[in-house]
Chains A and B, each alone.
Chain A
Amino acid sequence: MSVPVFEVQDVTFHYHIVTALDGLSLAIERGKRVALLGANGSGKSTLLHILDGLAFPEKGSVRFDGEPLTEGRLQDLEFGYQFRRRVGLVFQNPDVQLFSPTVFDEVAFGPLQLRWPKQEVRSQVGQMLDLMKITHLKDRSPHHLSTGEKKRVTLASVLVLDPEVLLLDEPTAALDPKSASQMIDFLVGWRGGVKTVITTTHNLDILEDIADYCYVFQTGRVVLEGAPSDVLRETALLERTNLIHVHRHVHPSGEVHSHPHLHPHKH
Chain B
Amino acid sequence: MNFVERTLSSLVNAMERALYAEELAKSDGLLQRLDPRVKVIGILTLVVASAVAHRLWVMGVIFAVAVTLAVMSRVPFGILAKRVWVAILMFTGVIALPAPFLVPGREVWRLPGLDWPVTAQGLASACYLVARVETAATLSVLLILCTPWSHVLKALRVLGVPVVFVVTLGMTYRYILLLLQTAHDMFESRRSRMVGKLEGPERRRVAASSAGVLMSKTLQLSGDVYSAMLSRGFRGEVYVLDDFQTSKIDWIMLAVFVVLASGGFYFGL
Q: Which residues of A contact B (CB under 8 A)?
A: 49, 52-54, 80-81, 84-85, 88-89, 91, 93, 95-97, 99-102, 105, 108-110, 112-115, 118, 121-122, 141, 143-144, 157-158, 161
Contact = CB atoms under 8 A, between A and B. Distances in A.
B243 interface: yes
B228 A99 contact: yes
Interface of B: 16, 19-20, 22, 148-150, 174-175, 177-178, 221, 224-225, 227-235, 237, 239-241, 243
29 contacts: A54-B227, A54-B230, A80-B235, A84-B231, A84-B232, A84-B233, A85-B233, A88-B231, A89-B231, A91-B228, A93-B224, A96-B221, A96-B227, A97-B228, A99-B225, A101-B19, A101-B22, A101-B149, A101-B150, A102-B22, A105-B150, A109-B234, A112-B239, A112-B241, A113-B233, A121-B241, A122-B241, A143-B16, A143-B19
A143 B241 contact: no
Interface centre among A101, A105, A112 (most CB of B within 10 A): A101
Contacts of A144: 16
Given A91-B227, A99-B175, A113-B234, 9 more contacts: A80-B235, A91-B231, A93-B224, A95-B178, A109-B232, A110-B232, A113-B233, A118-B243, A121-B241
Contact of A54 (B231, B239, B240): B231
Nearest to A80: B235
B11 to A, nearest CB: 14
A96 B232 CA distance: 13
Interface centre among A81, A97, A108 (most CB of B within 10 A): A97
A113 B239 CA distance: 6
B206 to A, nearest CB: 25
A interface SS class: helix
A80 B148 CA distance: 28
Given A101-B148, A115-B239, A118-B241, A49 B20 contact: no
Contacts of A143: 16, 19, 177
Contacts of A89: 231
Nearest to A49: B227
Contacts of B150: 100-101, 105
Contacts of A122: 241
A62 to B, nearest CB: 15
A85 B233 CA distance: 8
Contacts of A115: 239
Contacts of B230: 53-54
- The 4 tightest CB contacts between A and B, nearest first, are A113-B233, A110-B232, A99-B174, A96-B224
Contacts of B178: 95-96
B233 A110 contact: yes
B45 to A, nearest CB: 27
A120 to B, nearest CB: 11
A99 B172 CA distance: 11
A141 B256 CA distance: 35
B145 to A, nearest CB: 13
B157 to A, nearest CB: 14
Given A113-B239, A122-B241, A141 B232 contact: no
A49 B148 CA distance: 31
Contacts of B22: 101-102, 141
Contacts of B16: 143-144
Contacts of B225: 96, 99
Given A96-B221, A99-B175, A108-B241, A113 B235 contact: yes
Contacts of B149: 101
A112 B243 CA distance: 12
